[in-house]
Amino acid sequence: MHSNQIHLASRPTGWPQPENFRTVRAELPELEPGKVRVRNEYISVDPYMRGRMSDAPSYIPPFALDAPMTGSAVGLVVASQAEDLPEGTLVTHQQGWRDVAQGPAEEFRAVDGSLSPSAYLGILGITGMTAYAGLTRIGNLKPGETVFVSGAAGAVGSAVGQIARLLGAGKIIGSAGGPEKTAMLTDRYGFDIALDYKAAPIADQLPAGIDVYFDNVGGDHLEAAIGAMNRFGRLVECGMISQYNLEKPEAGPRNMTEIVKKSLRMEGFTLGDHLDIAPEFLGKVIPWLREGKLVYEETVVEGLDNAVEAFLTMMRGGNKGKMVVKV
């Protein structure tokens, strides 16, 4: 049995290029007791993976060169030497970027096969849990408060807006690039105000009175949010996609003194420190999903051979909602 895997061939400088990656056909060993073999159905490509392509110190180890990359995936057990995960079980795991995964059963988690498999990479997975943890634990969202979300048409951003509404937020503002994406914010995801950052500087469009800013972009959006925050507002730093491919770092926001003047709290987070929130998150989100109170968008790219292009397209903002690759 073999597995087609995508390896990191070299570390990119600035924007990643196709030549930074290589597809390798690897032979898998015989299945040993306690292990399973999984045929991946969908794999995830995510912004945080860009950081792992660098060897700079970070909260998560970098991808190794000339080795298969990892990331969220969902698939079916096709061979098993583990009683708890028989053949045919739908599982999630972290052996993405390949068509067949294999390893100890404890590295795979059985999930409800009655729901869409790809949802476990998005709204029911890291994406949705990031939105929920950021709003509740970091943002300490209170009913009636005003929330601003950057990158709001993306997978995390669109989940943030909807979950904020379901948790009782008063007004929800989102930014996205272009008229099509901004229309989705109000028409599909229930945002009250949608701002097109490509039409005019975001600082010129963002109204004052923000209580919680959920940041996926950084840069000019962060500066604009600081200027628009209410006193005692919270800035939830989840991502800064505008900064990931810069060869030289930009200067920070020019209005940092407002953090002192307004008694703002600015906190970065990564989901790995909040995985214990999963039962609470799933207990709320699965019913919302089944009842139609929560919707999600996916951009599905067909074929492992197109996974690198899917990643690059996602980094350029060419996706609607969660970007997944159907293996």
Q: Mean pLDDT across the stretch 222-250? A: 90
> What angle separates helix 179-187 from helix 155-166, to the nearest 10 degrees?
30
Is the pTM value of this prediction over 0.85?
A: yes
**Phi, psi for residue 232 in degrees, rounded to 5:** 65, 20
Q: Tell me, what's the pLDDT at 321?
A: 80
pLDDT digits (tens, 9 = 90+) for 184-216: 999 999 999 999 999 999 999 999 999 999 999
Tell me how far apart the alpha carbons of residues 73 and 53 are, in angstroms, rounded to a whole number: 18
Sign of dihedral through CA atoms 111, 117, 123, 128?
A: positive
Token readout for 110 is: 């059985």
pLDDT for 246 beyond 90? no
CA 92 to chain centre: 16
pLDDT digits (tens, 9 = 90+) for 270-306: 999 999 999 999 999 999 999 999 999 999 999 999 9
Residue 192 near residue 216 (C-beta atoms within 8 A): no
Tell me how far apart the alpha carbons of residues 323 and 317 are, in angstroms, rounded to a whole number: 10
277: three-class secondary structure by DSSP: helix
Q: Tell me, what's the pLDDT at 38?
A: 98
Residue 39: how many other CB atoms lie within 10 Å:
14
∠ CA 165-171-173 to the nearest 5 degrees?
95
Residue 324 near residue 302 (C-beta atoms within 8 A): no
How big is the chain by its Cα radius of gyration, in Å?
Answer: 20
The domains found in the chain, sorted by start residue, are: 2-122+297-326 (3.90.180.10), 126-272 (3.40.50.720)
Per-residue CA distances from 127 to 102, 258, 265, 312 (Å) = 24, 30, 23, 18
Which of 251, 228, 231, 234 minimizes the C-alpha distance to 175? 228
List, in sequence order, every residue forming a beta bridge with 98; answer none if it has no partner. Answer: 5
189: three-class secondary structure by DSSP: coil
